[in-house]
Amino acid sequence: MQWLQNPNSSVYLNHRWHAVASWTWDAQDETCGICRMAFDGCCPDCKLPGDDCPLIWGACNHAFHLHCILKWVNSQTSQAHCPMCRREWQFKE
Amino acid sequence: MTSSSAASRKALSKIASNRLQKELVEWQVNPPVGFKHKVTDNLQRWVIEVNGAPGTLYANETYQLQVDFPEHYPMEAPQVIFLPPAPLHPHIYSNGHICLDILYDSWSPAMTVSSVCISILSMLSSSTVKQRPEDNDRYVKNCRNGRSPKETRWWFHDDKV
């Protein structure tokens, strides 16, 4: 760590810059329409947000936590629909 | 009634109780107009008071909805019924069962208790006649053993009311 002395006082200034990265998913809504948790957080079954709890987009451009939409799609006996717009759910390619 | 039906037997999953707690907070901040949640410590069964909208056939009338959440809410619809006496309406049976597609086939996990309440009030408000469904007696007789309306195979034939 580098300390520089301020010539006008005996106070030491800390010139080291603490960079903290921030990130956010590039989704239009802020919360998942299924679990209602923030997209920048994770689904209720995960502990940490990020790559382990990704967002996924449908062909209709609605986004959900991957884990949430999979639970919905797998719970349907016939073709699942998008929870937001009711179009047939297809993962965006 | 259907108080012992399957809908309320299994404890809520983590995702269900998590979402319901969020819905409850959101309801307290911003309750749908005309509805009052009767506070209990049971997150899995909500009892909600409905006031008929002014200027409709149900103005100045109050009814009670009972909402039971299944283990895997919101992947599964809640069970919603009117507690007796159920309003007289062409889509509401005398046992409180409601013929409304979003409660069954057309449920989506993006819906909430609040949005379901608004749909039910809108269904009440658009009614032009206070009467029971034509097949009320037959249907109610069929559900005598406390069957859940979610076990009914509904046939949605009328989109006017």
Name chain A contacts of B72, Cβ cutoff 8 Å.
71, 75
With H, G, I as helix, E, B as strand and everything else as coil, classify residue B80: strand
* Residue A90 confidence (pLDDT): 95
Across the range B118-142, mean pLDDT stands at 95
How far apart CA B55 and CA B58 sit, in angstroms, is 8
Greatest mean pLDDT among A14-18, A74-78, B50-54 lies in B50-54
- For residue A93, the distance in angstroms to the closest alpha carbon of chain B comes to 23
How far apart CA B18 and CA B145 sit, in angstroms, is 32
* Residue A70 confidence (pLDDT): 96
Name chain A contacts of B76, Cβ cutoff 8 Å.
75
* Predicted confidence (pLDDT) at residue A14 exceeds the cutoff of 70: no
How far apart CA B29 and CA A38 sit, in angstroms, is 18
Average pLDDT in chain B: 91
Residue (of B49, B44, B37) closest to B21 by Cα position: B44
* Predicted confidence (pLDDT) at residue B8 exceeds the cutoff of 70: no
* Residue A40 confidence (pLDDT): 87
| CB–CB contact A37 B18 (8 Å) | yes
* Residue B4 confidence (pLDDT): 45
Residues of B annotated catalytic, as ranges:
99
| CB–CB contact A81 B109 (8 Å) | no
* Residue B28 confidence (pLDDT): 94
Across the range A61-83, mean pLDDT stands at 94
| CB–CB contact B22 A36 (8 Å) | yes
Q: Give how far the C-alpha of residue A30 lies from the chain's centroid of Cα atoms, to the nearest Å.
A: 9
- The tokens of A83 are what? 């929870």
* Predicted confidence (pLDDT) at residue B156 exceeds the cutoff of 80: no
Structure confidence at residue B145 as a pLDDT band (50, 70, 90)? confident
- In angstroms, the first-to-last Cα distance of chain A is 47
Structure confidence at residue B65 as a pLDDT band (50, 70, 90)? very high
- Residues 6 or more apart whose CB falls under 8 angstroms from that of A25 comprise A39, A40, A55, A63
* Predicted confidence (pLDDT) at residue B3 exceeds the cutoff of 80: no
* Predicted confidence (pLDDT) at residue A30 exceeds the cutoff of 90: no
How far apart CA B138 and CA B130 sit, in angstroms, is 19
